[in-house]
A and B are shown apart, each in its own frame.
Chain A
Amino acid sequence: MMNNQKITSLHLDVLKEIGNIGAAHAATALSDLLNKKIDMRVPKVEMVSFHEMMELAGGSEKVVVGIYLRIEGDTEGSMFFILPVEQANRFIQRLISDESFNFNDNPVSELGLSAMQEMGNILSGSYLSALSDFTGLKIYPTVPGISVDMFGAIISIGLIEISQVSDNVIVINTSIFEEGVEDSEEVRGHFFLLPDPDSFESIFKALGVS
């Protein structure tokens, strides 16, 4: 098990690089999908308390579109792609050429939902295959699930594995946004990669920094 105290700035840099490579590939995939330029921000790697984790991406009560999958294989963990509802609406409207699509509708149109799920699939797939290529680790993602709900309710499922070991979580947080709109939390899409506590060692070992 990776002891939190033993994580040095070199380790953090490695994790940042994972976020960088992963999100860059995902941003390119999204850009191809929408035929639109997508920018990304410098990745952040932080050790935060569960409470702080719940307050990321605009707060625990903010309604977001969340894609969640588990990673299995040589390294394990949880991965989320979180989009604010307004931004998710814009992406999906463009993707299915339907201006009237809205995630706030009840019920949400099946076509839009499955387009979003597919988008999540493609983006997380590009993120994770980049991660796999970079580390040489075999990574098997589960089929992503989708939920339109409060951020806290969505992200907390990713804390379950970690909470058996720790009260803190190391999160690799990269965000992307549409070029041409002003970058703010309102438009930012987040990739959150939460490696399971036992998985840091395999990542570091694979990259020669154990």
Chain B
Amino acid sequence: MMIMSKNNNVIKVGIAQMDVVKIPNTIRTSGLGSCVGVVLYDEMKKIAGMVHIMLPESTLSRTETVNVAKFADTGINALIEMLKLEGVQAFRLKAKIAGGAQMFKFTSDKDSMRIGPRNVEAVKKELRKNGIPIVAEDTGGNSGRTIEFNPATCKLSIRTVNQGESEI
């Protein structure tokens, strides 16, 4: 179970969605498999944002209208813009990331089988491009993860089925 006080709200972020959180609330996304949960936070202002990324690049999209939160490249930029609207300055942002697992072991050439590691690479590339340091990460492996970030402590709780709960 996630540790939290009773009066606080947990903001839930669904797959291919994003949102921001301020104290005393926390922000959470559940059932991350090959997807990557990216948290950007401002330690001084105690504001954070989370995006649940499914795919590495928006160029993979074959539609005209793009849900920006779905892709690493567009999702991270959109989250930065969302945080700026909350008065956060981009140079103060730090990142914690989790996810990018390979849930099934196959010997297949299909790119979608390697989507977890590709998502992690794309997220890192995009953060580097924006000059945002990754303070902590729990990526790869083959377990699903549920993550929750508390902007008051800037800690990211990670729960898996077999390894229990940890904090980064």
A residues neighboring B (CB under 8 Å): 1, 50-51, 54, 60-61, 63, 68, 70, 106, 142-143, 145-154, 156-157, 159-161, 163-167
Contacts and interface: CB of A to CB of B under 8 A. Distances in A.
B74 interface: no
Given A149-B103, A154-B33, A156-B34, 12 more contacts: A1-B62, A50-B14, A54-B31, A63-B161, A70-B108, A148-B161, A157-B112, A160-B55, A163-B70, A164-B60, A165-B63, A167-B70
A145 B30 contact: no
Nearest to B17: A51
Contacts of B110: 70
16 contacts: A1-B62, A54-B15, A54-B31, A61-B30, A68-B103, A68-B104, A149-B143, A149-B144, A150-B31, A152-B15, A153-B101, A153-B143, A156-B15, A156-B34, A160-B115, A167-B70
A116 to B, nearest CB: 13
B55 A150 contact: no
A145 B105 CA distance: 6
A64 to B, nearest CB: 10
B145 interface: yes
A83 B36 CA distance: 25
Interface of B: 14-17, 30-35, 54-55, 60-63, 67, 70, 101, 103-106, 108, 110, 112, 115, 142-146, 161-162
Contacts of A150: 30-31, 33, 144, 146, 161
A147 B34 CA distance: 13
Contact of A154 (B54, B55, B103, B146): B103
B34 A160 contact: yes
Given A145-B105, A157-B103, A159-B54, A151 B112 contact: no
A148 B55 CA distance: 23
Contacts of B17: 51
Given A150-B146, A157-B103, A60 B30 contact: yes
Nearest to A55: B14
B15 A50 contact: yes
A23 to B, nearest CB: 22
Closest 7 CB pairs of A and B: A152-B31, A153-B144, A153-B33, A145-B104, A60-B31, A51-B14, A150-B144
B143 A160 contact: no
A147 B104 contact: yes
